[in-house]
Structure 1
Amino acid sequence: MIELDTLDRKILRALIEDATQSATALGRKLGLSQPATWRRVKRLEEAGVIAGRRLELDAGKLGFGVTVFLGVKLATKGRVSLEDFERTITAIPEVQTVEHILGVYDYRLRVVARDIADFERVLRRRIMMLPGVGDVEANVLLTEERRAGPIG
């Protein structure tokens, strides 16, 4: 585990706001030189604190107006392997995330669709047809507020 000082936390907060900014721009914001900023960011990356930088797409602007969280419980009959399920479910492009969870359901999926009718098509023709799928529960996303998470 890496020790984070106040400056490291400021760097992380700034990168959460905009991960595309250069070390020069970031350093200017924080009162650091470009080389000092770059070294700190590199140290955070090498320690695994910064695990990557991702591109965030606006699903609505791409024509996907509905997001559904789907709880999936695998059927005990047939004993489909978790690896087989994960491999087949991740091949469905509308499935954005696959989370193996502990609780009533075995998996939580984030599924995007153009509209409810499109979601029903994906559910009936793709997800429910997979071997091993038992019970499912759908929850439609109404609004979403994303937070960065704890920085310490």
Structure 2
Amino acid sequence: MNELDDTDRQLLLALSQDATLSAGALGRKLGLSQPATWRRIKRLQDSGIIAGRRLDLDREKLGFGVTVFLGVKLATKGRVSLDDFERAVSAIPEVQTVEHVLGMYDYRLRVTARDIADFERVLRRRVMTLPGVGDVEANVLLSEERRPGPLG
């Protein structure tokens, strides 16, 4: 599926704003019947455009008040494979995202912790002991503004 019509785009925008809406509620919003809406959703899922739906948790209310972005440069790329590093870092529960990037660092990690002391523990005991880790740069998240994606 390469072509999306305006209704597909409106459907994707509505789902990106609230993925819990039923096909009936989405249909009413878009002027479609429930079955027609469900068929469109199914087609978008089958084509891979809708890759899943996820739960968005409030980390602060769950007791995780600190988010830090880490830039990680591997020191020994020849001896340690990228797969080994990715597998090891993905096993750390506080690491929310692992992004292989081009630029000054090899990886960008999003780490959540209860507080700065908890983050320091994660950094020292878990991240810095990973295979191949060289330079690490930390940026503490002060605030976050959600912006609509490319459909909004």
TM-score (norm 2): 0.95
- Secondary structure, counterpart of 1:36 in structure 2: helix
Instruction: Describe the shift of the 1:124–1:35 C-alpha distance in structure 2 as closer, same or farther (beyond 3 A).
Output: same
Aligned equivalents of 1:42 and 1:102: distance in 2?
35
1:62-92 alpha-carbon deviations (Å, 9 max, x no partner) = 1000000000000127721111111110110
* 1:16 aligned partner: 16
* 1:103 aligned partner: 103
* 1:30 aligned partner: 30
**RMSD of aligned alpha carbons:** 1.4
- Secondary structure, counterpart of 1:144 in structure 2: coil
Is the CA contact (8 Å cut-off) linking 2:76 and 2:133 kept in structure 1? no
1:5-36 alpha-carbon deviations (Å, 9 max, x no partner) = 11111101110111011100110111110001
- Number of residue equivalences: 152
Aligned equivalents of 2:88 and 2:16: distance in 1?
32
Aligned equivalents of 2:109 and 2:140: distance in 1?
12
* 1:74 aligned partner: 74
Over 6 Å off, 4+ runs = none
Alpha-carbon deviation of 1:114? 0.4
Q: In structure 2, list runs of 5 or more residues that go unmatched.
A: none
- Secondary structure, counterpart of 1:136 in structure 2: strand
Instruction: Describe the shift of the 1:125–1:23 C-alpha distance in structure 2 as closer, same or farther (beyond 3 A).
Output: same
* 1:93 aligned partner: 93
Q: In structure 1, list runs of 5 or more residues that go unmatched.
A: none
TM-score (norm 1): 0.95
Q: Does 1:122 align with 2:125?
A: no
1:99-147 alpha-carbon deviations (Å, 9 max, x no partner) = 0111110000000000111101100111101121000000001111122
Is the CA contact (8 Å cut-off) linking 1:78 and 1:132 kept in structure 2? no
Letter matched to residue 104 of structure 1: M
Is the CA contact (8 Å cut-off) linking 1:95 and 1:111 kept in structure 2? yes
* 1:52 aligned partner: 52
Matched-pair identity in %: 80
